[in-house]
Amino acid sequence: MNVKPLPVCPMGPDPFGWFSEPITSVADVQGLPFRSPPGLPGLTFQELGVEAIAMPGGDIVPSAQSGIIDGAERISPADDRALGLSDVWDNYYLQGLHQSTDIGELLFNLDWWDALPADLKEMVMVATQATIVECQNVSITVNADAVAEYQEQGINIYNTPPEFYGAFIDAWESVAADLAQEDPFFAEVRESQQAYADRVMPFRLTITELYQEIGETYYPEKVGQNP
C-alpha cells in the first residue's frame, strides 16, 4: 500500500455496552437494535442475530431517547460517561468481544518516510511508542474511576454472560470464513495473523495466567464476579 504504519495509543478491550434491559443470554440480544461499530464487529453482531446499527457517537444518545436503539457500545467507561450514555441506560456490561483492543494507527507515505533523515525517523518512532505506555496507564486508571462512579450512581454493572463468548467467536469464524473466500487479501492477512497467534499465544496465555492468579488471591470476592 506504500505506507509506513506506526501503532499509537492502544485502548480497550471495549466493554460490551449499555442496554435498556438486563441481558442474561444470547437470545436476549437477537433482534435487538444495537449501536455497533461498522465493519467486522457489526458483521459479527449481525451473524449473532443482533440488529447492528452503525452511527457516529453524537447520534447515540438522541437515538436512545427516541427509541431507535435499545443498546449501544462506544469506547470505554470513561468515554461513555463523557458522551452521556449513563444518562439514558443503567445496565452496563464490561466484557466486550467485538473489540478486544483498539489500536490507533499513524500512517505515512512510504516514499516520504524513506526520505526522512534517520534522526527524525527515530524521534517519530519514540513519540509513538510513548503514546502506547501513556494511553495504557491512563486508560486503566480513568476507566476504573469511571466504573466506581457508576456504582456510586446506582448504575447496574455486570459481567457479560459466559454464553456470549463461544457464541460470538462462532459468529466471527463464520464471518471470517466468508470474507476469506471473497477477498484474497483478507485471507492473506488472516492467515498471517493466525500463524503468529499459533506461535506466541500459548506462551503468552501461560505467563499471563500468573497475573490472574495473583489478582484473584488478593481480590477473591471481586475478580470474576459482577463488580
- Span 143-178, pLDDT tens digits: 999 999 999 999 999 999 999 999 999 999 999 999
Question: How far is it, in rounded angstroms, from Cα 50 to Cα 35?
Answer: 10
As a whole-number percent, the residues of the chain with pLDDT over 90 amount to 82
Write the pLDDT tens digit of every residue in 60-99. 999 999 999 999 999 999 999 999 999 999 999 999 989 8
Domains of the chain and any CATH numbers = 3-182 (3.40.190.170)
CA angle 94, 37, 70 (to 5 degrees): 65
Write the pLDDT tens digit of every residue in 113-142. 999 999 999 999 999 999 998 888 888 899
CB contact at 8 A, 7 and 103: yes
Question: How far is it, in rounded angstroms, from Cα 193 to Cα 7?
Answer: 16
Q: Which three cell numbers stand for residue 121?
A: 525517523
**What local confidence, expressed as pLDDT, does residue 102 receive?**
84
Distances (CA, A) of 165 to 36, 48, 87, 142, 197: 17, 11, 28, 26, 18
DSSP one-letter code for 49: T
By the 10 Å C-beta count (0-12 exposed, 13-18 middle, 19+ buried), 158 is classed as middle
**What local confidence, expressed as pLDDT, does residue 226 receive?**
66
Return the exposure string of 5-20: e unless at least 16 CB atoms fall within 10 Å of the residue's CB, then b.
ebebbebbebbbbbbb
